[in-house]
Structure 1
């Protein structure tokens, strides 16, 4: 037997409506007020809601709209109000049958069935629309994921789709779900790489400023300073557009603040004190950029993105070591001692990367090149007291940086990273 809840705007007519419904075989669970319609619908689960209201208003339609989103049920409304605007509001709020000027008891059962049929029809249409929308959104995800794989691995569109489909079958997930994972992994990998560049550039800037203060390769250093500054601005802008401001906005601001001060310091002529002042701001920027990188990594679904962080940090350490050695030369200190901790950290990370299971032929080639460049940098470190040695050290650090730029990009675009 069909069950119903009755909502009446005028209490005296309620018993008549309830009796007529019972008379045609519709079981009336009970009569409710507007204030508890949704609660009672959830609790009692009627097959249909029958409303009788002489002059339905916005408050009633708001309750019915809430019912539609919370506990969808067929709604049949009886009224004497023939206003067309009210009819439109009723339809928008989820009324399935809007009956004007009363009802005849013999029509009640048919009207309940009509409201139910319209409700089921609308439900089916909404489900079809939702399915079409889902498939459309999934297709967009698949296309984006294919584009990422095509650019990263230089494969055809068909090959990229075969990779996605194989991963889908292997993990027993929809291709759309796998595609969403690829998109998320690519986004975080790029964010880690970009934030890691901010770490590196903070140290590279001071390295170049120290070289200027020593009076060595000043024009070359000035060109690289401009390039480094532009890269920081570009990376901050890209991160600002691509990552969630609610999640990472405060961390991005924390990197930007010392960068503003550091940029102003770099605009002044180079000497020992100003270089030291710039280094102090660069250290603050380094700390904040490191926190940003770690925040990106902590939000990754897999631990595989850690290798991008480590490889990217090697870029920073290559510049930090050269910076510390040049600052020591500028102040008359011991370069080897100043860079000792950085050197140990670099070698420890290099061992980690060599032992990491995430490897391809290209990655192995980059690691071999990194070992050779690292040896050259250590040899140059011994000559840092002379102007020629300072230039050789700087060039060696740039060569090592280029190797780890390439290696980090290869990790970022590796299939293991993108496919998790």
Structure 2
């Protein structure tokens, strides 16, 4: 019998550079292999939050995927450190779907835009990566409206709530919900924050 091997897509020069952090060696190798098989360029595989914080300035990754639970510095704390110095979309990995943990992860730093539940599969990776980049681009749009990063982060929370309302009521995907908010913002010549607040207020009356 021959052992099955994972076919890897050739890594192109313009492939998305990914920095990963996972303290479990088996999980770290598995995640790296899955990403490479999808055509991503894994520039490094760190074992701790401290290590990923020291690596990202030099490696300049396009995306960071790291576990929440790591020794010394967990993924959430590492995300806070990273986003103080650079705007990089970050995906956090968790072993359980606790709403408290996920909420803390998503709101802890401006760079945390998606999460993955263990065990990670290739079919989960691509959607999470697409969501992370889409939300990162949305946040860049929000930052252009505010000089203060704290205001931009607070607005992001409101926009996420408004998107959720539109997605549920209109049965539309996340990107379309954001486009609706943007279109209304331009049409009424108002900031996205104001449009999001209007959607949230209206939903409470229905």
TM-score (norm 2): 0.57
Candidates 104, 118, 125, aligned match of 2:121: 104
Shift of 1:128: 1.3
- In the alignment, is the contact (CA less than 8 A) between 2:50 and 2:73 conserved in 1? no
Provide runs of 4+ in structure 1 moved above 6 Å.
55-58
Equivalent position of 1:203 in the other structure = none
Equivalent position of 1:72 in the other structure = 87
Distance change >3 Å, CA 106–CA 59, structure 1 → 2: closer
1:376-387 matches, within 5 Å, as none
Distance change >3 Å, CA 110–CA 80, structure 1 → 2: same
1:221-236 matches, within 5 Å, as none
Give the CA RMSD over aligned residues: 2.5
Distance change >3 Å, CA 26–CA 64, structure 1 → 2: same
- In the alignment, is the contact (CA less than 8 A) between 2:94 and 2:117 conserved in 1? yes
Instruction: Determine which structure has more spread, i.e. the larger CA radius of gyration.
Output: 1
1:170-249 matches, within 5 Å, as none
Matched residue SS, 1:129: coil
Equivalent position of 2:160 in the other structure = none
Equivalent position of 1:11 in the other structure = 25
Equivalent position of 1:129 in the other structure = 146
- In the alignment, is the contact (CA less than 8 A) between 2:17 and 2:61 conserved in 1? yes
TM-score (norm 1): 0.29
Equivalent position of 1:118 in the other structure = 135
CA–CA separation in structure 1 for the residues paired with 2:91 and 2:77: 15
Equivalent position of 1:42 in the other structure = 57
- In the alignment, is the contact (CA less than 8 A) between 1:2 and 1:26 conserved in 2? yes
CA–CA separation in structure 1 for the residues paired with 2:114 and 2:72: 16
Matched residue SS, 2:119: coil
Matched residue SS, 1:97: strand
Does 1:52 pair with 2:75?
no
Q: Where does structure 2 lack aligned partners over 5 or more consecutive residues? A: 1-14, 151-206
- In the alignment, is the contact (CA less than 8 A) between 1:7 and 1:34 conserved in 2? yes
- In the alignment, is the contact (CA less than 8 A) between 1:47 and 1:74 conserved in 2? yes
- In the alignment, is the contact (CA less than 8 A) between 1:78 and 1:102 conserved in 2? no
Q: Number of matched residues? A: 132
Equivalent position of 2:98 in the other structure = 83
- In the alignment, is the contact (CA less than 8 A) between 1:97 and 1:114 conserved in 2? yes
CA–CA separation in structure 1 for the residues paired with 2:136 and 2:71: 20
Distance change >3 Å, CA 100–CA 87, structure 1 → 2: same
